[in-house]
């Protein structure tokens, strides 16, 4: 019940009809494995089979806003004068169906960089034209630890509508005004009963209890600054990392990018693509590379999320989605690193120069 009113619900067998209605006004994205990895792709207007297999996507939905590669603009020379081709602002409305609470939280975290710290028009055009329809996780992975980060697998604070699986139907919580407005013009949605809401409460408790991996963020906040100069500790935790960059590319809160120009016979384009602090060339400068050694890069990744980002924006830049644990080829585990940090500072082993 929200504000004394019962929630809404939609039968699972009617999800296709629901999406078809929304497809008239939006480009609808749903979880799909058609590219070989699970990611949010444009709905084909038919398939709702993802309801049977979907736990979370491999590629996080940040890719729908900060594209893994995009052309920023074209440039070149035309009859002796220079030309610049700016892309038309994207006006099409998107709807992402089934985003998990951790990935919606990640978008709120990235907003602090691309909307608040500076305005990135490429990102913001998509963000402001997109509705997020959240879906709680009834089956979290054992690598998930979202409940340690102040929310849970069924919480919908960062979406427009939030769906909770109650068996043969989804309860629908109206979170934002835009979500409420969308639901008001959607057919096939009924009022939930008190029994439905009770089933929703049970589903939330069950899902929360399934997230058994925990970290102690209070203890981490105290220990992380003490760990910075502990070269021995970081060398040990970085030993098996092969610097592939997967943990950062597929992290929903990592947002680093690189910019490159390409030119063929007078016609050029500027591209932006994801980059990763796991790569040794990430910090290459003409005179030096402050993070040539792997342990410095692993330290940077952990400190950025749990120390530097909170200093800047007062929030940890990790949602506990567990992707970096599930998808690392050598089983590097951020929760093990965070939980094994020494409680005492090690004095004088490493200077902060360059970091
Ligand atoms: S995914 Fe694993 S091996 Fe690859 S950079 Fe991250 S920690 Fe290192
Ligand atoms: S650091 Fe790992 S657990 Fe945290 S948000 Fe990134 S991928 Fe998810």
DSSP string, 249-269: HT-TT---EEEEEEEETTEEE
What local confidence, expressed as pLDDT, does residue 265 receive? 84
Q: Is the pLDDT confidence value at 248 over 80? A: yes
Evaluate: CB of 323 within 6 angstroms of ligand 2.
yes
Angle at 22 between CA 21 and CA 24, to 5 degrees: 75
Average pLDDT, integer, range 25-39: 97
Its pTM stands at 0.93
Beta bridge partners of 135: 163
Residue 282 pLDDT > 80, yes or no? yes
The answer to whether residue 312 scores a pLDDT higher than 50 is yes
Residue 348, pLDDT > 60, answer no
Model pLDDT, residue 87: 87
Q: What is the mean pLDDT of residues 331-347?
A: 90
The Cα–Cα gap between 347 and 355 comes to: 17
pLDDT at 90: 75
Does 102 have pLDDT greater than 80?
Answer: yes
pLDDT value at residue 133: 98
CA 254/CA 228 separation, integer angstroms: 21
Q: What is the arithmetic mean of pLDDT over 108-133?
A: 96
Least confident span in 53-67, 77-91, 176-190, 324-338: 77-91
Write out the two tokens for 192. Answer: 């939930």
Where residue 84 falls among pLDDT bands split at 50, 70, 90? Answer: very high
Question: Cα(240) to centroid of ligand 1, in Å?
Answer: 8
Atom 8 of ligand 2: nearest residue by CA position: 321
Q: Quote the pLDDT of residue 1.
A: 61
Q: 49-72: per-residue pLDDT in tens?
A: 999 999 999 999 999 999 999 999
Q: Which of 321, 332, 336, 338 should be mutated for ligand 2, with most atoms under 8 A from CB?
A: 321
Instruction: Supply the pLDDT for residue 354.
Output: 45
| Mean pLDDT confidence for 9-28 | 97
Ligand with minimal distance to 330 CA: 1
pLDDT band at 89 (very low <50, low <70, confident <90, very high): confident
pLDDT score at 2: 62
Of ligand 2's listed atoms, the one at least distance from the Cα of 254 is: 6
Residue 347 predicted with pLDDT over 70: no
Q: Cα angle vertex 218, ends 215, 220, to 5°?
A: 65
Nearest atom in ligand 1 to 248's CA: 6
Spatial neighbors of 97 by CB under 8 A, at least 6 apart, are: 19, 22, 28, 29, 30, 43, 133, 135
The pLDDT, as a whole number, for residue 266 is 81
Residue 31: what pLDDT?
A: 98
Portion of the chain with pLDDT greater than 90, in percent: 87
Q: Which residue has the tokens 């290459």?
A: 284
CA dihedral (48, 52, 56, 60) in degrees, to 10, reads: -20
Give the separation between CA 71 and CA 65, rounded to whole angstroms.
13
For ligand 1, whether the C-beta of 279 sits within 6 Å is no
For residue 24, the model assigns a pLDDT of 97
Residue 251 half-sphere exposure toward CB, CA atoms < 13 A: 27
| Residue 75, CA atoms < 13 Å, CB-side half-sphere | 10
CB of 255 closer than 8 Å to CB of 66: yes
User: What's the mean pLDDT in 341-347?
Assistant: 81
> Can you say whether the dihedral through the CA atoms of 255, 261, 264, 267 is positive or negative?
positive
Give 153-173 pLDDT, tens digit per residue.
999 999 999 999 999 999 999
C-alpha closest to that of 35 among 16, 13, 70, 63: 63
6 C-alpha to center of ligand 1: Å?
46
Answer yes or no: is the C-beta of 319 below 6 A from any ligand 2 atom. Answer: yes
Q: What phi and psi, each to the nearest 5 degrees, are found at residue 80?
A: 85, -15
Is the minimum distance from the CB of 147 to ligand 2 under 6 angstroms? no
Out of 56, 106, 141, 320, mutate this one to test ligand 2's pocket (max ligand atoms within 8 Å of CB): namely 320
Give, for ligand 1, the residue of 234, 238, 245, 301 to mutate: max count of ligand atoms closer than 8 Å to Cβ. 245
Is the pLDDT reported for residue 203 higher than 50?
yes
What's the 283 CA to ligand 1 centre distance in angstroms? 17
Say if residue 222's pLDDT is above 60: yes
306 C-alpha to ligand 2 centroid (Å): 11
Atom of ligand 1 nearest to the CA of 242: 3
Q: Tell whether ligand 2 has an atom less than 6 A from the beta carbon of residue 318.
A: yes
Confidence grade of residue 353 (pLDDT, cut at 50, 70, 90): very low
What is the spatial order of strands in the sheet that 8-11 belongs to? 39-42, 27-32, 94-99, 130-135, 161-165, 169-174, 8-11, 190-191
Q: Which of 82, 75, 71 is nearest to 260 (CA)?
A: 71
Residue with CA at minimum distance from ligand 2 atom 6: 251
Q: Which residue has the higher pLDDT, 350 or 313?
A: 313
The reply to whether ligand 2 has any atom less than 6 angstroms from the CB of 10 is: no
Please tell me if the CB atom of residue 280 comes closer than 6 angstroms to any atom of ligand 1: no
User: Across residues 320-340, what is the average pLDDT?
Assistant: 97
From 234, 249, 279, 332, the mutation candidate for ligand 1 (largest count of ligand atoms within 8 A of CB) is 332
251 touches ligand 2 (CB under 6 Å): yes
């Amino acid at each position: 019940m929200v504000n004394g009113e019962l929630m809404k619900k939609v039968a699972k067998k009617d999800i296709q009809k629901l999406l078809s209605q929304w497809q008239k006004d939006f480009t609808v994205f749903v979880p799909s494995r058609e590219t070989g990895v699970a990611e949010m792709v444009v709905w084909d207007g038919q398939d709702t089979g993802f309801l049977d297999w979907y736990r979370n996507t491999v590629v996080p939905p940040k890719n729908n806003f900060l594209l893994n590669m995009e052309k920023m603009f074209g440039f070149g020379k035309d009859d002796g004068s220079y030309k610049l081709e700016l892309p038309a602002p994207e006006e099409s409305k998107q709807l992402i169906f089934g985003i998990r609470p951790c990935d919606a939280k990640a978008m709120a975290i990235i907003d602090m960089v691309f909307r608040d710290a500076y305005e990135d028009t490429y990102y913001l055009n998509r963000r402001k034209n997109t509705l997020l329809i959240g879906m709680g996780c009834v089956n979290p992975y054992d690598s998930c630890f979202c409940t340690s980060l102040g929310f849970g697998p069924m919480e919908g604070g960062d979406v427009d509508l939030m769906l909770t699986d109650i068996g043969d139907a989804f309860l629908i919580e109206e979170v934002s005004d835009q979500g409420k407005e969308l639901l008001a013009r959607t057919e096939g949605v009924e009022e939930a009963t008190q029994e439905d809401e009770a089933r929703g409460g049970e589903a939330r408790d069950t899902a929360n209890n399934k997230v058994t991996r925990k970290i102690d963020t209070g203890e981490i906040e105290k220990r992380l600054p003490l760990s910075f100069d502990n070269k021995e500790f970081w060398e040990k935790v970085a030993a098996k990392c092969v610097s592939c960059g997967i943990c950062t590319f597929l992290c929903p809160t990592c947002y680093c990018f690189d910019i490159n120009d390409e030119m063929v016979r007078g016609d050029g384009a500027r591209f932006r693509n994801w980059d990763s602090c796991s790569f040794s060339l990430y910090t290459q400068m003409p005179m030096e590379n402050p993070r040539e050694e792997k342990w410095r890069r692993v330290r940077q990744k952990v400190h950025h999320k749990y120390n530097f980002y909170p200093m800047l924006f007062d929030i940890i830049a990790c949602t506990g989605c567990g992707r970096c644990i599930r998808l690392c080829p050598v089983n590097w585990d951020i929760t093990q690193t965070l939980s094994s940090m020494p409680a005492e500072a090690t004095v004088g082993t490493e200077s902060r120069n360059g970091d």
